[in-house]
Amino acid sequence: MTTHQAHPSQRPRPSSGAPDSKASPALWQQLDLAARGLQAVRAGQSARALVQSWPEALRPGAQALLYHTLRHTGTAASLQQQLVARRPQPQVEALLCVALSLLLDDGEPSYAPFTVVDQAVEALRRRRKFSAQAGFVNACLRRFLRERDALLAAAENEPQARWNHPLWWIERLRQDYPDQWRAILAANNQRAPLTLRVNQSRCSRADYLQLLAQRGVAAQPIGAAGVVLGEAMDVRRLPGYADGWFSVQDAGAQLAAPMLLQDAVGAPTDAPLLVLDACAAPGGKTAHLLELAAIRGLPIELLAMDVDATRCERITQNLTRLQLPPSRVVAADASRPQQWCDHLLQGRQLDLLLLDAPCSAAGIVRRHPDIRWLRRASDIEALAAVQQSLLSVLWPLLKPGGRLLYCTCSVFHTEGEDQVRRFLARQDDAQLLAPALQLLPTLAVHHDTVLPAPTPASAAQMPQMHNHDGFFYALLGKRTVA
Ligand SMILES: C[S@@+](CC[C@H](N)C(=O)[O-])C[C@H]1O[C@@H](n2cnc3c(N)ncnc32)[C@H](O)[C@@H]1O
């Protein structure tokens, strides 16, 4: 439930390149801003946060350029090495990288090549400090256009240039998925669609699709409540936004709430089910749990927790827009239940627990192309340790017969099936209630060596959808140990 503005997956869109008006910023301005953005990402900043601080008039175009560049940085870096004898200043290098990425445009080019060259040169001329480099950049880009095929053929031999991911990432995927690693990397370089989840407590999916069709918005159903839009747009302009008829949520993420609530029934006393969403912000899955409980007439008492108090505000805002029943939103560290357990649970045990754990986000690279460049190899083990600790400290809060859904938006086994395997090995009272599910980005056939291997019957129940992000799900049940 995140994107409200122009969707970051948009292709770079042609602007004339020349006029310097408010309505249509010149391409050189967008190139310049995207190059500054690239430098900031290289310095460790998140692209999404950065883009929010950009002037509104420039934001959609420059963001599309930056995201496009982040999907092509490996190739552009290899080309630069071939084209440039001595490394230019970082600002000039970043601009060269953005311009080369744009010239690489796969599919239909967004801009005529000579417009790109001309506007990249213009961007440097406008920055006094770097104007002397304009001729150098012009020469590099023109040489690329002349020798394109040979330069690209040489780049193809380097894995980082071929796949536009860091080497350690490629290697990890190759080990985890000997047959599918190429398809995963290729999927990561695609643009993600804009996917909605219809709030079925307010409006049926069929009705919403009809409404979109009446407004001329192309859309397809996905999963049980999802809608994939034909093209990216500002979702605030879609019908029902202010009235909470939908949320923005990837189709893979839409599996969490139904999985946790499947077969859930209220306690014999008719007391509401006590549910903790332990890492809840910005509230996408929290809202879905409340929507499903409402349409199924299932009484639940939902506690939405997140360690980040600012992000907790987003949970409240989202639940309010969706007109869902008020829930308790708690800013607290889920890994320290001793700080909140007595006060929040008052001696009760949880019926259901959703642990959407902090992770590498390696499954959502289509939407966040900076992630691959921001992460370090060592982050993965560190995140796995955090996930393991969250699982261990939260498990005792669950009542016997209760269930915990562990999920991450990752495709790395360390954060998914290895994690669960380790947990099951040391936790006698834990069992897997259904085969764990590893969704791979955009692939309709899911990875099928998760533990335990799905039987034909359980595989048949797996959602046959595609065009979703990568996610891992494991539904764990707590049994009574004699
Ligand atoms: C994957 S995101 C959750 C997305 C959310 N479930 C949704 O569907 O919208 C992970 C969240 O975990 C939170 N988090 C990280 N460590 C935490 C901790 N120790 N306790 C509680 N929340 C934590 C982060 O602030 C982040 O919001």
Last residue of one domain, picked from the residues 221, 249, 277 = 249
333 falls within a domain: yes
- Let me know whether 230 and 91 are in one domain: no
Average pLDDT over residues 121-131: 91
Q: Identify whether residues 255 and 236 lie together within a single domain.
A: no
Asked whether residue 187 carries a pLDDT value surpassing 70, the answer given is: yes
11 occurs within a structural domain: no
Q: Ligand 1: which residue has its CA nearest to atom 13?
A: 279
What is the model's pLDDT at position 266?
60
- Quick check: is 147 in a domain? yes
357 C-alpha to center of ligand 1: Å? Answer: 6
**Confidence check: pLDDT of 471 > 70:** yes
Residues with CB under 6 A from ligand 1: 1, 278-285, 305-308, 311, 333-335, 356, 358
The reported pLDDT for the residue numbered 17 is 40
219 and 284 assigned to the same domain = no
Question: Are 236 and 110 in the same domain?
Answer: no
Residues 122 and 266 in one domain: no
Question: For residue 173, is pLDDT > 90?
Answer: yes
264 and 223 fall within a common domain: no
Q: Chain-centre distance of CA 366, in angstroms?
A: 7
Q: Can you tell me which atom of ligand 1 is nearest the CA of 408?
A: 1
Q: How much of the chain, in percent, has pLDDT values that exceed 90?
A: 82
In terms of domains, do 393 and 255 share one? yes
Active site residue 409: yes
CATH number, domain of 72, equals 1.10.940.10
**101 in a structural domain:** yes
* Whether residue 198 sits in one domain with residue 257: no
- Band of the pLDDT at 207, cuts 50, 70, 90? very high
Query: pLDDT (tens digit, 9 = 90+) per residue, 292-328?
Result: 999 999 999 999 999 999 999 999 999 999 999 878 9
CATH code assigned at 290: 3.40.50.150
- pLDDT higher for 17 or 65? 65
Over the stretch 256-270, which tens digit does the pLDDT of each residue have? 999 999 887 665 657
Separation of 162 CA from ligand 1 center, angstroms? 33
Give pLDDT, residue 442. 81
Interatomic CA distance for residues 228 and 212, integer angstroms: 11
Judge whether 1 lies within some domain.
no
Active-site residue identified among 140, 312, 407, 409: 409
Residue 443: band (very low, low, confident or very high) from pLDDT cuts 50, 70, 90: confident
Label residue 21 by pLDDT band (50, 70, 90).
Answer: very low
Asked if 105 and 197 sit in the same domain, the reply is no
User: Binning pLDDT at 50, 70 and 90, where does residue 86 land?
Assistant: confident
Kindly tell me if the per-residue pLDDT of 459 is higher than 70: no
Lowest mean pLDDT among 31-35, 52-56, 450-454, 470-474: 450-454
ipTM summary value:
0.99
Q: What is the mean pLDDT of residues 381-386?
A: 98
Mutational test site, ligand 1, from 247, 306, 408, max ligand atoms within 8 Å of CB = 306
Residue ending a domain, among 206, 228, 249, is: 249
pLDDT at 7 over 60: no
Atom 12 of ligand 1, nearest CA residue: 279
State which ligand 1 atom lies nearest to the alpha carbon of 335: 19
Residue 256: φ, ψ to 5°:
-60, -55
Any domain includes 18: no
Nearest protein CA to atom 2 of ligand 1, as residue: 358
Within this chain, do residues 327 and 418 fall inside the same structural domain, yes or no? Answer: yes
> Can you give the pLDDT at residue 38?
98
Work out the average pLDDT over 59-73.
Answer: 95
Look at residue 236 and tell me if it is in a domain: yes
Q: With bands split at pLDDT 50, 70 and 90, how would you rate the model's confidence at 399?
A: very high
Q: Is the pLDDT of residue 49 over 80?
A: yes
Of 249, 268, 297, which closes a domain? Answer: 249
Domain that holds residue 393: 250-478
CATH no. for residue 232?
3.30.70.1170
- Mean pLDDT across 144-171: 97
Residue 131 CA to ligand 1 center (angstroms) comes to 45
Q: Provide the pLDDT for residue 128.
A: 86
Q: How far is the CA of 414 from the centre of ligand 1 (A)?
A: 18
Mutate to test the pocket of ligand 1, among 279, 364, 391 (most ligand atoms within 8 A of CB): 279
**Residue 29 pLDDT more than 90?**
yes
Number of folded domains that form the chain: 3
In this structure, are 308 and 216 located in the same domain? no
| Residues 296 and 242 reside in one and the same domain | no
pTM: 0.91
Q: Could you tell me the strand order of the sheet in which 246-248 lies?
A: 219-222, 226-229, 195-198, 246-248
146 inside domain? yes
Higher pLDDT, 131 or 219: 219
Average pLDDT of the residues in 86-113: 89
Whether 453 has a pLDDT exceeding 50, the answer reads yes
